[in-house]
Each structure stands twice: as C-alpha cells, then as structure tokens.
Amino acid sequence: MAVSAEGARRKERVLCLFDVDGTLTPARQKIDPEVAAFLQKLRSRVQIGVVGGSDYSKIAEQLGEGDEVIEKFDYVFAENGTVQYKHGRLLSKQTIQNHLGEELLQDLINFCLHYMALLRLPKKRGTFIEFRNGMLNISPIGRSCTLEERIEFSELDKKEKIREKFVEALKTEFAGKGLRFSRGGMISFDVFPEGWDKRYCLDSLGQDSFDTIHFFGNETSPVSVAQPRCFPPQFTPRSRPGHRATELSLGRLPETSQCSSAPLHRLEGWG
C-alpha cells in the first residue's frame, strides 16, 4: 500500500522513545511477544527507539535475541545513552573511567564496598558493583539474586530506605565531584557523571531534526492531557503542556506497565 507524503514525513520526523525496565518489560524480564509485535506495527508509522540504564547485552536479552534488537529499533541507547546505536550501527561509546579519572573512580568504588560491608541484610548475593561504560551500578543485595530475593529486598527497601540512605551518604562524601545518583528498578542505583542521565541521548537525536519526540517511561511526572488514540488505556500517556500528540490509530497495546510521555527536551530528572 502506498505511503502518503504526510505519512512519509511523519515516519522521518516523529520518534517514539521507550524506557525498558518497568515500561516495555517488567524489571529484567523478557518482552511480551504481543508488545514486541505492537512496536513493529508502530515502527511502520514512526521511528522508534529505546533508552535504558542497562548495558547493551542486558537490553538485547530482554527485547530480542542477540543483536536483532538493533535491527528492530531505529535507535538503541544503552547505559543512559553513553552507548548509542542508530539503524543497526554503533555511533559512539563513552567510558566513565576516562571522564572521571582513576583516582576518583577508585575512591568511589572503595567507599561503596566499605559501606556495603557494614550493611546487615536478610540476604546478600554477588555482583555488588557492576562496572559499565557510562556508569557504576550499585546493588546492596547483589545483582545475582533470584527474582524472589529481588522482590524481598525491594519490599525491605521501601520500609527501611536502604538505597536512599546509601545515596545520601554518597552525596555527602562526594559533594562537588560532578557525580549524579539515580535510583531505579528494585535492587540498585546508578552512579554517573553529571549530564550522563538518559537525556544524554539528546546529543545524538538533536542532529536528526525530529519535529516531535514522545518519551514513555514509568518514572516521569508530567501533567495529564488528552490521550492520543494510538496508545491504549494501559499505557496512559500523559504530557506537559504544549505537547502535541500524534494520532496513529494503531489499536490496542497488550497490557504492560503504566507509562507517561512528554517532550524529551523538556523532561527534568527522569531516570
């Protein structure tokens, strides 16, 4: 079927950008086949991309098999966008060690190890610090915990604010060092240089002259407006004032996590 001039322009000038954990999938779980099919249907109308805090291998594991993820999405931004893929090709990769320097990096790692050594939790497993290209991921229980242990820690964390207190200690110890801290998911938080949050991908997207960028994530707090027809009630997209919804009429998306949307360049503090 022929694509109208308006449709072709929209395909090139509109981007729908999705968070991964808690949005397209439950935390660290594989995408539902119905959601994956919906995204490919959406891709026939606009460009689509994902941005996540995890490294590329974890994103690929959740959203596809092997390297097929970079073929299914026009843009893949791993590690908050410090590792960038566009149309199946690696664009750029930044490293935290080059940005911070070895001395500060070791001070940070040593502080975290000492802090966690003094923590008494119901359970501790392994991989307490995961070193990624663009960040350190810190997990008091350890990333190798089971799903049941992950849920148990998450419930304890809600009551005792384990991660929140950890982050406050880091903010005090490393004040003025150019570091940012972001709690997300169930068991960990990220440490990265200032400016290396998920808005980092704007450096790449700014060169592509999109008319509209819709972001969908589970931890944004924009103001509610009318819902565009292409996104079903389960998604509950919302937007800040001035956001123009793109009506694609693609039908119902299978049940998934509640999301919000807003113009990416106007979001503040989304992680």
Active-site annotation, residues: 19, 21
Encoded tokens for 22 = 């808690």
Q: Does 218 show up as a binding residue in the annotation?
A: yes
**Does the CA dihedral 66-144-183-130 come out positive or negative?**
negative
150 is annotated as contributing to ligand binding: yes
Flag whether 143 is marked binding. yes
Judge whether 253 and 234 are in contact, CB under 8 Å: yes
Query: Is 132 annotated for ligand binding?
Result: yes
Neighbours of 262 (CB within 10 A): 26
Contact 73, 50 (CB under 8 A): yes
In this structure, the number of other CB atoms found within 10 A of the CB of residue 51 comes to 26
Q: Is 21 annotated as a binding residue?
A: yes
Handedness of CA 202, 208, 209, 215 (dihedral sign): negative
Q: Which residues of 179-218 are buried (b: 16+ CB within 10 A; e: fewer)?
A: bbbbebbbbbbbbbbeebbbbbbeebbeeeebebbbbbbb
Pairing state of beta strands 188-193 and 179-184?
Answer: antiparallel
Could you give the C-alpha distances from 32 to 23, 210, 263, in angstroms and in order? 11, 29, 26
**Binding site members for alpha-D-mannose 1-phosphate:** 28, 132, 143, 150, 186, 188, 190
Binding-site residue positions for Mg(2+): 19, 21, 218
Binding residues: 19, 21, 28, 132, 143, 150, 186, 188, 190, 218
